[in-house]
């Protein structure tokens, strides 16, 4: 009887130790800039925020990429979630996005137990459970199964014990009954919770482009009528600089096809203006797999190469 209790208790504490690390990562902007978090190559928050908390992290460090809402700049840096390996309790780590020497970087601010006091700047905070894959939606299925083993023998009264353990969505309940000195009967109930997720490219796509099977970068393109109105407005400006400013304003709040971006580039007189527009529009383009079509709008191979390098690094 003692050996049974000992085994159960040891198993229970072993499971607790394995599952102990379940950390949170908080990232916020000191300047109130909106941003998207890419963790180990996976987008976390669906839309730009100023303060994001990601839960359910169990690795000692993660590669963090921050993409700002204006798409002007981004940063890449490691975020470390450990205190010298001295604790196995759940910890909340807070990093701030700060500007130093004209560059943005992540700066460690504090760490505290998950159930501790609230960190600074948590108003308007968005909390997200860490996604190891991009997801469109998810569904949860719970399955319960019971198995039992009964011995036959002495029916004298004995002692009983029950233990319930849950780990990563799997619940195990065990009833142990000792009958007399030697006879034992057991029953085990296992509950498994499975979350099924769909895949996603960059954002939830509501529009399907006929004949296109590549990656989608935004939900739906600007309508032909709205685009023509915007194009006419840009064309009415007398200088490239004014056209570029207006074009960025329009592109920044819309989703464009490659063909539409190319038409706007052809309104520009100078090669550098076309290149600046193409770089900016990359972050608001629907059919990213067709971006090579913009090459025809350039006059020099150097511009094509620079745009290619930019899209590959973003």
**pLDDT tens, 276-297?**
999 999 999 999 999 999 999 9
Judge whether 168 and 19 are in contact, CB under 8 Å.
Answer: yes
**114 and 149 housed in the same domain:** no
**123 and 26 housed in the same domain:** yes
| Alpha carbon distances (Å) from 16 to 22, 31, 94, 108, 192 | 11, 40, 25, 28, 18
**123 and 38 housed in the same domain:** yes
Judge whether 188 and 146 are in contact, CB under 8 Å.
Answer: yes
Which of 38-42, 203-207, 274-278 has the highest average model confidence (pLDDT)?
A: 274-278
Residue 289 lies in a domain: yes
**116 and 161 housed in the same domain:** no
- The whole domain housing 191 covers 143-197
4, two tokens? 């049974």
Residue 229 lies in a domain: yes
Contacts (Cβ under 8 Å, ≥6 apart) of 75: 65, 66, 97, 103, 104, 105, 106
Mean local confidence (pLDDT), 305-313: 94
> How confident is the model at residue 199, as a pLDDT?
39
Nearest to 226 by CA among 182, 192, 260: 260
Residue 40 lies in a domain: yes
**124 and 147 housed in the same domain:** no
**192 and 282 housed in the same domain:** no
> How confident is the model at residue 189, as a pLDDT?
54
Please give the share of the chain, as a percent, with pLDDT higher than 90: 35
**35 and 74 housed in the same domain:** yes
Judge whether 28 and 52 are in contact, CB under 8 Å.
Answer: yes
Residue 218 lies in a domain: no
Work out the pLDDT band at 239, boundaries 50, 70, 90.
very high
Residue 190 lies in a domain: yes
Q: Which helix (H) or strand (E) holds 54?
A: strand 51-57
Q: Record the pTM.
A: 0.39
> How confident is the model at residue 202, as a pLDDT?
44
Residue 240 lies in a domain: yes
Between 94 and 147, the higher pLDDT residue: 94
Residue 291 lies in a domain: yes
Lowest-confidence segment of 30-39, 71-80, 188-197, 280-289 by average pLDDT: 188-197
Nearest to 51 by CA among 114, 103, 128: 128
For 42, counting Cβ atoms within 10 Å of its Cβ (0-12 exposed, 13-18 middle, 19+ buried), the class is: middle
Distance CA(125)–CA(20), nearest Å, equals: 25
Residue 29 lies in a domain: yes
Distance CA(169)–CA(129), nearest Å, equals: 14
Mean local confidence (pLDDT), 91-107: 89
Number of domains in the chain: 3
**27 and 125 housed in the same domain:** yes
β-strand pairing of 126-129 with 51-57: parallel
């Amino acid at each position: 009887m003692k050996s049974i209790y000992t085994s159960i208790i040891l198993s229970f504490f072993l499971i607790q130790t394995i599952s102990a690390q379940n950390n949170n990562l908080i990232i916020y902007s000191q300047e109130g800039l909106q941003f998207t978090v890419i963790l180990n190559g996976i987008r976390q928050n669906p839309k730009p925020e100023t303060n994001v908390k990601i839960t359910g992290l169990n690795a000692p460090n993660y590669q963090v990429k921050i993409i700002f809402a204006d798409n002007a700049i981004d940063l890449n840096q490691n975020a470390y979630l450990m205190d010298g390996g001295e604790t196995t309790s759940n910890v909340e780590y807070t990093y701030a996005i700060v500007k130093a020497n004209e560059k943005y970087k992540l700066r460690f601010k504090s760490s505290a137990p998950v159930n501790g006091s609230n960190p600074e700047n948590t108003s308007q905070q968005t909390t997200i459970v860490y996604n190891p894959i991009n997801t469109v939606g998810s569904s949860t299925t719970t399955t319960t199964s019971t198995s039992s083993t009964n011995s036959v023998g002495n029916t004298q009264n004995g002692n009983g014990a029950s233990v319930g353990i849950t780990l990563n969505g799997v619940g195990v309940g065990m009833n142990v009954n000792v009958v007399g000195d030697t006879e034992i009967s057991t029953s085990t109930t296992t509950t498994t919770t499975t979350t099924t997720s769909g895949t996603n490219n960059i954002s939830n796509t509501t529009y399907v482009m006929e004949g296109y099977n590549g990656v989608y970068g935004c939900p739906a393109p600007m309508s032909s009528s709205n685009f023509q109105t915007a194009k006419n407005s840009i064309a009415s400006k007398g200088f490239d600089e004014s056209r570029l400013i207006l074009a960025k304003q329009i592109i920044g709040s819309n989703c464009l096809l490659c063909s539409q971006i190319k038409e706007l580039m052809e309104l520009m007189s100078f090669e550098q203006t076309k290149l600046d527009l193409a770089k900016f529009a990359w972050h608001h383009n629907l059919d990213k797999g067709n971006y090579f079509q913009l090459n025809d709008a350039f006059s020099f191979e150097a511009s094509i190469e620079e745009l290619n390098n930019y899209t590959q690094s973003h």
